[in-house]
Chain A
Amino acid sequence: MSTLETQGLGKVYGDFVALAPTDLKVEKGEFLTLLGPSGSGKTTLLSLIAGLAEADSGRILMNDRNVTHAAPYQRDIGMMFQNYALFPHMTIAENIAFPLKMRGTPAAEIRRLVQEALDMVRLPHIADRFPKELSGGQQQRVALARCTIYRPSVILMDEPLGALDKKLRDQMQFEILRIHKEIGGTIVYVTHDQEEAMTMSDRICLMNGGRIAQLGSPADLYFRPQSLFVADFLGEANLLEGRLVSGADGEGVVRLGDASEIRVTLPRPLGHGAAVKVMLRPQNIRLEDTPGEGLNARLRSWSVTGASTKFFLDAPALGSEPLIATRATAMSAHTPEPGRDYRLSFDPRDAVAIPADEAA
C-alpha cells in the first residue's frame, strides 16, 4: 500500500499548464524528491498534495483515502515552508505545541512531547524564546520539530534549505535524514538543487515543463537518463551526435559525424538508423597520451576547478562544441600544452545513447 498516490493530478492557471495530469506513487517511509528547474511544476505538485491549491483534474489518495478536495487541516500531512513560517508571536514551545493543541492533546502530554521534540532537534533549552531570537539554522530545526511532532503520515518540504549557506545546508541535510530515520515518516521534498536531491533521496522525481521527466533512484537518473533533459540536468554531460548502426540486448554501436564508430549502452531499444546523442560524463573519459585508433581530440585549454581539472578539447567527431573531460587535480600531473593531441577512451557502459529527436 502506498502512503500517497496521485492519479492524473493536474493544475491549470489560465492558459498555463502548471501540472499536466500526473501519476505518482510514494511508498511508506520513502524519501522522494521533486527536482526540477523553476516552473517545472514541482511546487505546484507539492501545493496540491498539501491542499494549498485546488486540483483541476485527477485524484489524490492518502492511505487509500481520497483527499483531493479535503482542506489542508483534514489531511494527515506536515509541511515545512521555505521561510520556516514560524509564528512570530508565539514562543518556540508554543509553536511546536500548536499542532498538538489543534488536535486536542492533553496539556501534560503536550509538555512532554514538546520537550522530546526539542531534544530530538538538539535544542533543549530554547523553549521560551521567540523565533526572532534564533539563528536561521535553529529556526529550521524548530520548523522540523513542529511539522513532525504529531507524526503525520506524509511530511512535505518546500525547498527548506534554500535560505541557508552551504555549510549549514550540509549539516541540515544530515539532520533531516537522521530524523527521517528516527521517526520513519514519508517525506516528499522539493528542491532545485540536484546535488541535494542526489544526496538525500531514495527516489528522485525529475520534473520539466509541468510533467515528470523521469522517476527513479539517483543512480538510475544519473547513469541511465532516458531523455536529453535528464542527461543535461543532472551533472555535466558531453552529448555526441550520431546514428545507431546496430543494437541489441541493451548494447549497440553508434556512428559519429566523422564516420568513426563507438560502442554504447542502450537503456531502451531504439530502431536502426535512429538519430541519437551519446552521453559521456566528463569524469568517465580517459585521455591517452598517444594518439591512435578511435576518437582523437586536440586540447584547447584547461583549468583547475578544485578537486578536478577540466580539459576542453576539440574533436572532429563532435562539431564545434568543445568536449569536456576531467581528471583528479594533482600536483604531480605535468602541465599540458594547449594544442597537443590525445586519444579518448571510455568504457562502453558509460556511453549512453539517448534518442536525439525527443523534446528536451
Chain B
Amino acid sequence: MTAIPAPAATRRPMSRRSKQLLMAAPMVLLLVTFLIYPSAQLFLLSFQKGGGFSLENYQRLLGTPVYLTVMMLTLKISVVTTIFAVIAGYPVAYLISILPKAKKGRILFWILLSFWTSFLVRAFAWIILLGRNGVVNKLLQTLGISDAPIALMYNFSAVVIGMVHALLPLAVLTMLSVMENIDRNLTRAASTLGAKPGMAFWKIYFPLSFPGVTSGALMVFVTAIGFFIFPALLGGRRETMITQIIIEQIIQTMNWGFASAVAVLLLVVVLLVFVLYDRAVGLSTMTGESSARKGRPGRKGIFSRIGDAILTGLGHASDAIIGLFPRRRAREGAPRPLVGFVTALLAVMTLPVLLMIPLSFAESGLNWPPQGFTLKWYQQIFDSPIWMSALTRSLVVGFSTAVLALLIGTPVAFLMVRGKMRGKTALLAFTLMPVVMPNMILSVGLFYLYAKIGLVGTNLGLIIGHTVIAVPYVVLTVMSVLRNYDTRLDLAAQSLGATPIRTLRLVTLPIIGAGMISAFLFAFTISFDELTIALFTSGGMSATLPKQLWDEVSLSISPLLAAVSTCLFLFVTALIVAVGLLNRRQK
C-alpha cells in the first residue's frame, strides 16, 4: 500500500526475547557474580579444613556451648524485638492508613526519616541517651525516682530498646502496604449491618490486615537476626549475637572456614523462616496484592474456628471497654487515644537523634543538659584528613552506586511492569535476594572474593557491593512509578510519529523523572549509610564515613562523634525532604 517503506522496516528488529534478555542481563550478571558466587564460595569453605572436605567447622559450632548460647540469645533478641516492633507499629500503620492524604504525609515523613537514619547514628544516640550522665538518668534523678545514676546500658533491655527503635519504621511501612489496600467501606458496611466499633475492627479490619502483620514480623525478624551494631554498642559481654562471631572470626583470627559455617547457619535459619512463612501464610501476601484468603470452598478447619472465636471475644471485650466511655459526637476523625499514642511513639522514635544535636555544640561534653556553645567539634572534623577523606569517599561511592544501580535496575523495572514474559515472579524473587540475604553473609563473601581479585580497600569494590544491595530498591521504586504511568501516552506519542527512543526521551522520562530521582536518592542513601560491607572491604585511609564512625565509637565515645552523627542525620534529612518535595510537585 505504501510506496515508501517505513524506516523501521528496513532494519531487522531485535526479537522480543533477546531484547528482554538484554534488559535483565546486567542485573543478573551482577547478582550472580557478586552475590551468588561469593555465597557459594562461603558454603564450600565451611566444609573445608586444611584443604580437604571436613565437617569440623560444624562440629565445633554445634559442639561448643558458648556458640549455642549465642544462637539461642540471637533468636531470643530477634523474637522479642519482632513482637515489640509489630505491636507498637500496628497502631501507627493503622492511623496512617485511615488519615486523609494531607495528614498522612506528615506522619509518614517522620517514619521515613527514622527509616533512613542509619542504624549506627541511632545506636550512638542511644549510647548518649542511656549513659551515666545521659538524659534518661538525669530525668530519673530530677523526678526523684533514683538518687544516683543507674546502669541503663550494656544489658539485654538496652539492646532490645535500640533494636525495636531501629526496626519499628520497617514494621510500620510493611504493615502499611497491606493496610492501604483495605477498602475503608468494609468497616463502614459492618457498622451499618449492626457491628459495634470493636467488633467491626476485630472481625473485619484485623483479619484483613493480618497478612501485613505477618509480613511485617517476617521482615523485622530476618533483619534483626543479622544485627551486630546494637548488641556490640548497647549490649554487655553476654549480649553477643551470631553476626558478631562472624566478624570476630574474620577480623581477629582470619578463620574463614569457621566464619563461613556460622554464615551458612545464619542463612539456613533465615531460609527456614521464609519456608515456614510460605507454608503458613504464603509469600504472595508480601506484595500486599491479595488481602483476601485464597478461595477454597468447603468446611473450615478447627484453627480458623478457634481464631474466629478469639476475634469475636476480642470484639465483645473491646466494645465493653469502649462502652464505659461516653461516645464522642464527632465520629469522622481518627480516635483521639490512637492519635495520642502514635504522637507519643513518634516522639520517642525521633527524640533520641534530635537530643544528640545540641550535645554536638556543647562545651560540656556528652553530659546532659548541654552547656555552652562551640563549633570546635565540627572544626576538628573539617581539619582532620581522616574524616575528610572518609566523607569524600562516601560521597563518591554513594554517587557512583546510585548511577550504577539506576542504570542496572531501571531496565529490569521496565521489564517487570511492561514486558510480556513468563517467570516474572521468579525474576522478582531473584531481584529481591539481596534484601532477604543478611548483609553480613554478602559482606564476608565479597571480602573473600575481593581478597583474591585485589578489590579490597578500593572504591570500585565498595561501589559494586553497594550496588548489589541498592538495586532491589531501585527496581521496586521504579516499578511503582511505572505502574502509575498511563502507557496510552506512549501509544499516543507513537501514533503521532515519535520513534520508541524519542517517545522515551520526550514523553516517558519527563513524566516519571521525579520517581527516577527518588530511586537515585534512595540508592545514594543506602550506600551512604552502609556499614557492613565497608567494615570488611575498607579500612584505614580507605574508610567510608560509617566505617570511620564505627571504628571510633568502638574505641571511645566523644562529642566529635556526636558532631559526625549530626552531620549524617542532617544530610539524610535533606535527602528525604528533597524526595518528598519532588513527589509533591509530581502530584
Residues of A participating in the B interface, judged by any CB pair closer than 8 Å: 50-54, 69, 71-73, 77-79, 81, 83, 85, 87-89, 91, 98-99, 102-103, 128-133, 146-147, 150, 156
For A98, give its contact among B185, B190, B327, B330 (CB under 8 Å).
Answer: B190
Once A54-B331, A69-B329, A132-B295 are accepted as A-B contacts, the answer to whether A78 and B192 lie under 8 Å apart by CB is yes
Name the residue on B nearest A78 (C-beta): B192
Decide if A85 touches B208 in the complex (CB within 8 Å). no
* In the complex, chain B residues whose CB is within 8 Å of the CB of A50: 192
B188-202, CB under 8 A of A: which get 1 and which 0? 111111111101000
Decide if A54 touches B330 in the complex (CB within 8 Å). yes
For A53, give its contact among B204, B207, B332 (CB under 8 Å).
Answer: B332
* In the complex, chain B residues whose CB is within 8 Å of the CB of A78: 192-193
* In the complex, chain B residues whose CB is within 8 Å of the CB of A81: 185, 188-189
Decide if B204 touches A87 in the complex (CB within 8 Å). yes
- Smallest Cβ distance from B491 to chain A, in angstroms? 25
Once A72-B188, A83-B183, A132-B292 are accepted as A-B contacts, the answer to whether A98 and B297 lie under 8 Å apart by CB is no
Q: Which 8 A-B pairs have the closest CB atoms?
A: A88-B292, A102-B194, A85-B189, A130-B295, A99-B193, A79-B192, A72-B191, A128-B297
* In the complex, chain A residues whose CB is within 8 Å of the CB of B295: 129-130, 132-133
Asked if B186 is at the interface of the complex by the 8 Å CB criterion, the answer is yes
Bound CA span A54–B329, Å: 8
- Smallest Cβ distance from B306 to chain A, in angstroms? 16
Name the residue on B nearest A99 (C-beta): B193
Contacts A73-B193, A130-B295 supplied; 6 other A-B pairs, CB < 8 Å: A69-B329, A71-B196, A87-B190, A98-B203, A129-B295, A150-B193
Name the residue on A nearest B299 (C-beta): A128
Asked if B420 is at the interface of the complex by the 8 Å CB criterion, the answer is no
- Smallest Cβ distance from B378 to chain A, in angstroms? 47
Once A88-B208, A128-B298, A130-B295 are accepted as A-B contacts, the answer to whether A71 and B327 lie under 8 Å apart by CB is yes
* In the complex, chain A residues whose CB is within 8 Å of the CB of B292: 88-89, 130-132
- Smallest Cβ distance from B351 to chain A, in angstroms? 34
Q: Which of B185, B194, B208 is most buried by chain A, counting CB atoms within 10 A of its CB?
A: B194
Name the residue on A nearest B297 (C-beta): A128
- Smallest Cβ distance from A175 to chain B, in angstroms? 20
| A–B Cβ pairs within 8 angstroms, 19 of them | A52-B191, A52-B192, A53-B332, A69-B329, A71-B191, A71-B327, A78-B192, A81-B185, A87-B189, A88-B186, A88-B291, A88-B293, A89-B292, A102-B193, A102-B194, A103-B194, A132-B295, A147-B192, A150-B194
Bound CA span A128–B194, Å: 23
Q: Which of A51, A54, A81, A102 is most buried by chain B, counting CB atoms within 10 A of its CB?
A: A102
Once A85-B186, A87-B186, A89-B207 are accepted as A-B contacts, the answer to whether A130 and B192 lie under 8 Å apart by CB is no
- Smallest Cβ distance from A288 to chain B, in angstroms? 50
- Smallest Cβ distance from B380 to chain A, in angstroms? 54
Name the residue on A nearest B330 (C-beta): A54
* In the complex, chain A residues whose CB is within 8 Å of the CB of B183: 83, 85
Decide if A85 touches B330 in the complex (CB within 8 Å). no
* In the complex, chain B residues whose CB is within 8 Å of the CB of A79: 189, 192-193
> Total A-B pairs in contact (CB under 8 Å)?
86
* In the complex, chain B residues whose CB is within 8 Å of the CB of A103: 194
Once A85-B185, A85-B186, A128-B297 are accepted as A-B contacts, the answer to whether A102 and B195 lie under 8 Å apart by CB is yes
Give the interface residue-count category, chain B. 20 to 34
Bound CA span A52–B184, Å: 12
Bound CA span A77–B188, Å: 13
Bound CA span A50–B183, Å: 18
* In the complex, chain B residues whose CB is within 8 Å of the CB of A69: 329
* In the complex, chain B residues whose CB is within 8 Å of the CB of A53: 332
For A73, give its contact among B196, B204, B208, B329 (CB under 8 Å).
Answer: B196
- Smallest Cβ distance from A190 to chain B, in angstroms? 14
Decide if A83 touches B332 in the complex (CB within 8 Å). no
- Smallest Cβ distance from B511 to chain A, in angstroms? 28
Decide if B208 touches A89 in the complex (CB within 8 Å). yes
Once A85-B188, A132-B295 are accepted as A-B contacts, the answer to whether A98 and B193 lie under 8 Å apart by CB is yes
Decide if A72 touches B192 in the complex (CB within 8 Å). yes
B279-300, CB under 8 A of A: which get 1 and which 0? 0000000000001110101100
Bound CA span A221–B203, Å: 45
Decide if B185 touches A83 in the complex (CB within 8 Å). yes
Name the residue on A nearest B207 (C-beta): A89
Bound CA span A131–B297, Å: 11
- Smallest Cβ distance from A228 to chain B, in angstroms? 35
Name the residue on A nearest B192 (C-beta): A79
Decide if B207 touches A71 in the complex (CB within 8 Å). no
Bound CA span A246–B295, Å: 72
Name the residue on B nearest A75 (C-beta): B192
* In the complex, chain A residues whose CB is within 8 Å of the CB of B189: 79, 81, 85, 87
Name the residue on B nearest A88 (C-beta): B292
- Smallest Cβ distance from B290 to chain A, in angstroms? 9
* In the complex, chain A residues whose CB is within 8 Å of the CB of B297: 91, 128-129
Once A73-B194, A99-B193 are accepted as A-B contacts, the answer to whether A89 and B199 lie under 8 Å apart by CB is no
B101-123, CB under 8 A of A: which get 1 and which 0? 00000000000000000000000
- Smallest Cβ distance from A155 to chain B, in angstroms? 10
- Smallest Cβ distance from B185 to chain A, in angstroms? 4
Bound CA span A85–B188, Å: 9
Bound CA span A50–B185, Å: 13
Decide if B195 touches A98 in the complex (CB within 8 Å). yes
Bound CA span A98–B185, Å: 15
Decide if A73 touches B207 in the complex (CB within 8 Å). no
Name the residue on B nearest A53 (C-beta): B332
Bound CA span A139–B530, Å: 50
Bound CA span A150–B195, Å: 13
Query: Which residues between 301 and 338 of chain B lie within 8 Å of chain A, taking CB atoms?
Result: 327, 329-332
Q: Which of B185, B193, B199, B329 is most buried by chain A, counting CB atoms within 10 A of its CB?
A: B193
- Smallest Cβ distance from A179 to chain B, in angstroms? 17
* In the complex, chain B residues whose CB is within 8 Å of the CB of A102: 193-195, 199
- Smallest Cβ distance from B29 to chain A, in angstroms? 40
* In the complex, chain B residues whose CB is within 8 Å of the CB of A89: 207-208, 291-293
- Smallest Cβ distance from B166 to chain A, in angstroms? 32
Bound CA span A89–B183, Å: 12
Name the residue on A nearest B204 (C-beta): A87
- Smallest Cβ distance from A341 to chain B, in angstroms? 46
Bound CA span A103–B196, Å: 11
Bound CA span A84–B204, Å: 15
Bound CA span A73–B183, Å: 19
* In the complex, chain B residues whose CB is within 8 Å of the CB of A52: 188, 191-192
* In the complex, chain B residues whose CB is within 8 Å of the CB of A132: 292, 295
Decide if A54 touches B191 in the complex (CB within 8 Å). no
Bound CA span A244–B298, Å: 73
